[in-house]
Structure 1
């Protein structure tokens, strides 16, 4: 009798667990398919954002910066032309370009351009 009850209980439990695992498997597959569909849509969205927003904005920003720098260069050349080939002397204010301690690469800033920037040095 005990063996029969155990066998019946095990059979019922097996049916329950097989049904539960099948339902869980179907739910897992459904979630997996939903994730794949979401990934496809998201990938398409960001590809379109990259191609139709980021690239044109980068091109327009580059063109705007080139135009602005060209105007600046033309202005510098105009000032040189007006002053006999040299830039006009800038006022040497005591609070500008103070360097009490040199950078590891020297006294000037990392992107120092001698054509445009005033050389810095220690103020006394």
Structure 2
């Protein structure tokens, strides 16, 4: 019975060598880093640059209007003070875009 399993295993490996090549069985990955290096330089970096240019162009168009303040009872609820400052503003508070419970701090 052991010879049947060994014979089947040898046939399977021989099939894999024919189908996928010798590197699939031996586990060799020589040159695989070149594909990832090239993808980094020719795909990833240009994509990052294009996204940055898109963000800069969208910002320069001036299309970020602040929404009108409406005092809803379920928005901007402060049940506990923030542990910094006077306790009413969040950590990354923007006085132009983030409203407090009573409205915006500065008028535009």
> In the aligned structure 1, how far is the partner of 2:67 from the partner of 2:41?
46
Contact between 1:108 and 1:119, CA under 8 Å: does it hold in 2? yes
The answer to whether the aligner puts 1:101 opposite 2:86 as a matched pair is no
Change (3 A) 1:52 1:95: same
Q: Pick the structure with greater CA Rg.
A: 1
Change (3 A) 1:47 1:88: closer
Q: CA RMSD in A?
A: 2.9
Shift of 1:41: 1.5
Higher helix fraction (1 or 2): 1
Deviations 1:66-111 (A, max 9, x none): 222233xx245xx7xxxxxxx7862211111112112222322222
TM-score using structure 1 length: 0.49
**Runs of 4+ displaced beyond 3 Å:** none
Change (3 A) 1:47 1:113: same
Change (3 A) 1:61 1:89: closer
Shift of 1:51: 0.5
Match of 1:115 in 2: 96
Q: Please, which runs of 5 or more residues in structure 2 have no aligned partner?
A: 1-22, 103-108
